[in-house]
Amino acid sequence: MQRRILRLGLVAAAFCAVGIASAQTGGERKLPHRTLKEVAQQAVLNSPEVRARWHAFQEASEEVGVVRGGFLPRVDVTAGKGKEKLDQPSAGLNDKDYTRHGHVVSLNQMLFDGLLTYNEVKRAGRARLVRYFEFLDASETAALEASRAYFDVIRFRYRVFLAEKNYIEHRIAFEQLKRRAESGVGRRVDVEQAGSRLALADVNLTTELANLHDVTARFTRIVGEAPPAVAFLPGRLSQGLPGSMEQALTTALEHNPALRASIENSEAAVYDLAARRSAFMPKLELRARDDSANNVLGVPGDRSNKVVEAVVTYNLFNGFSDVYRNRQYAERRNITLDQREKACRDMRQTLSIAFNDIGRLNDQLSFIGIQVGLVEKTRDAYRDQFNIGQRSLLDLLDTQNELFNAQLAQVNADIDLALAYVRSYAGMGRLLEQLALKQVDPDNAPGGDEFTKPQLNELCPPLAPAASSVDRESLNYRALAEMNATAGMVGRGTAPVPVAAPAVTPAASPVPVEVPQSDAVAVDADVEKRVAAWAEAWSARDLAAYLAFYDSTFQPANGVSLSMWRNQRGVRLRSAGDIRIGISRLEVTRHGRGEVSTRFLQDYSEGGRRERSEKVLVWLLKDGEWRIVREVAQRADKPGQ
């Protein structure tokens, strides 16, 4: 519900900020509304960097034709005519002047050059694919930066909206206190304190306006025009996201354009090295020549010399230059392999952080929503109490600032969540596809059969760092244990428990009683089945089936209401990846015919996150079905526990 309210507020803020945005752009004409897809599409098609990368790809395509010309014959024609003077006394030719003319037609056809031309064509072809993937990477980056700029405009428009509301609230408080002081009812010191907070609210508003100006200027640079008057957060960004971090990383290994460019670059280096080895092989050429001339050496008449020959050239010694050049290009090949590994690790880090941010921000939004709602109620209550003299002005102003900061945090988290989805798609190389964007001149793109298929065993493994998580139920239990230990008791009728290693026992559970053995066996079997079905429901991400295990009297350990706890469970389940739950060392303790508790070790795996915890569930038998009324968990750090 809080997310829905926030989304509506962001839309309202976009409308409210029209006047601000218009003033900042100096009356520049803007479209009233543009979607994220439209903005990103314009950025991709008009970005100077994207177009430069496209022209670099076109230039590399032409280079392939240049190198391929080495397979074709070379034909040269030379013709000349001029005056000559010949002085040869022994032949009786003294100062003889004559005019000569002639022409030479030559043809050279490479038959074998040590595979130099072949490898150069292959190298140029791979270099062309490197430029193509660099163009795709620039397109993905342009779409990502346009999305970031679009989201930041929405973010700071709403932050300005909140800063204006905060200023109005402080102005109201200041004016009311000022009137009270002037009438002799209030104190002057309260007016001064309220004036100080009003000045701070004014500073906050000025800061947010400056931030909005900066992101507007950035949007204009990236997209090429001013932001639209109205902007909306896109919906359904989560559709198409892989279910786990490992799946996302595997997708990125196959499709991330920066990584694919480094792969093609390493392949180009292979052919570049092979081309250097041609220096150690002979060269074979077919040569044809027609040399025709008139009045050669003063002899009247025409002369023609026609030659067709095969010429072999084999360098025997070149000062070891070819040996060292071969080693040089071998090191260049190693450089490309290191660059490929770096690109892979960079991609893995970037995507892991973005993917983890999705789950983190989903969790944060549920708690920030609770905070905003509770602080707002507190602020209203403090205002009423202040009006009747039961609260100080400082209490009221502190609560107003706390509400303002909580609302800013809520806006940031909601925008950051949308941005985390976009960053994840960009990390996988799927942002253009997810937003259904067109490329620059897609008709000239190379075919898929030209690309080098990534060999996953040669790349960095798709291993994501274990997600850091907080076992709040364990922390709540420790808090209760410390509180009760301070009072001298933990639970009901038990001795104090050391806080450093609290035992996971359900608080206030009845003392076990004896029941007939036949009934006990049936109860144990029935409860064990319920525990297994409970774990299976969560693993299958079946929220309705999972919540059905909990009784209406269930009290969450973190102190929130049952409805809020259910909403939090739903948010976590929707953002979770592949889930696996292992149950071991299950023990059933019977407290009567209608109540039991189960203690077990739970091995929990969700995407890259793995943890082991010791859990206790308290069950009540209602309408012939066991239902959970209490749940306590504690992290078990040692696998052998």
* pLDDT mean over 316-337: 94
Amino acid at 223: V
Q: Decide: helix, strand or coil at residue 600.
A: strand
Is residue 630 within 8 Å of residue 555, measured between CB atoms? yes
HSE, side-chain direction, 13 A CA sphere, residue 62: 5
* Weakest-pLDDT range from 2-6, 151-155, 221-225: 2-6
Question: Residue 39: pLDDT above 80?
Answer: yes
User: Can you tell me which residue has the tokens 């030559």?
Assistant: 106
Which carries the bigger pLDDT value, residue 594 or residue 191? 191
What six digits make up the tokens of 142? 């342009």
What is the DSSP code string of 390-424? SS-HHHHHHHHHHHHHHHHHHHHHHHHHHHHHHHH
State whether the Cα torsion 497-502-506-507 is positive or negative.
positive
pLDDT tens for each residue of 590-618: 876 678 889 998 888 886 677 888 888 88
- Give pLDDT, residue 624: 83
Q: Decide: helix, strand or coil at residue 574.
A: helix
Is residue 336 within 8 Å of residue 269, measured between CB atoms? yes
Angle at 547 between CA 541 and CA 549, to 5 degrees: 110
What six digits make up the tokens of 584? 């071991």
- Give pLDDT, residue 639: 40
Question: Residue 530: pLDDT above 80?
Answer: yes
Amino acid at 85: K
pLDDT tens for each residue of 539-580: 888 888 999 999 988 888 766 678 778 877 887 787 677 888
Is residue 436 within 8 Å of residue 594, measured between CB atoms? no
The per-residue pLDDT of the chain, averaged, comes to 84
> In sequence order, what are the beta bridge partners of 615?
600, 633
pLDDT tens for each residue of 177-188: 888 888 887 788
Phi then psi for 125, rounded to 5 degrees?
-65, -40
Phi then psi for 86, rounded to 5 degrees?
-115, 125
Which carries the bigger pLDDT value, residue 594 or residue 166? 166
Beta strand ranges found along 89-227 (DSSP E) = 93-112
Structure letter (DSSP) for residue 1: -
* Weakest-pLDDT range from 164-173, 479-488, 563-572: 479-488
Structure letter (DSSP) for residue 441: S
Domains identified in the chain and CATH numbers: 2-58+121-265+334-458 (1.20.1600.10), 67-120+266-332 (no CATH), 472-635 (3.10.450.50)
Residue 99 neighbours by CB under 8 Å, 6+ apart: 81, 82, 83, 84, 295
Phi then psi for 127, rounded to 5 degrees?
-60, -35
Residue 400 neighbours by CB under 8 Å, 6+ apart: 166, 169, 170, 173, 197, 379
* Weakest-pLDDT range from 226-230, 269-273, 298-302, 337-341: 298-302
Phi then psi for 474, rounded to 5 degrees?
-65, -40
Question: Residue 491: pLDDT above 60?
Answer: no
- Give pLDDT, residue 590: 81
Q: Decide: helix, strand or coil at residue 109.
A: strand
Query: What percent of the chain lies above the pLDDT cut of 90?
Result: 48
- Which candidate, 431, 464, 432, places its Cα nearest to that of 355? 464
The torsion defined by the Cα of 256, 257, 261 and 266, in degrees rounded to 10, comes to 10
Q: What is the pTM of this model?
A: 0.70
Q: How confident is the model at residue 234 (pLDDT cuts 50, 70, 90)?
A: confident
Sequence length of the chain is 641
From residue 575, how far is each of 320, 515, 582 by CA, in Å?
Answer: 63, 44, 20
Which carries the bigger pLDDT value, residue 229 or residue 8? 229
pLDDT tens for each residue of 53-112: 999 999 999 999 999 999 999 999 999 888 887 776 665 666 667 788 889 999 999 999
pLDDT tens for each residue of 98-132: 788 889 999 999 999 999 999 999 999 999 999 99
d(CA 172, CA 393): 13
- Which candidate, 111, 118, 126, 131, places its Cα nearest to that of 274? 118
User: Can you tell me which residue has the tokens 């996302």?
Assistant: 248
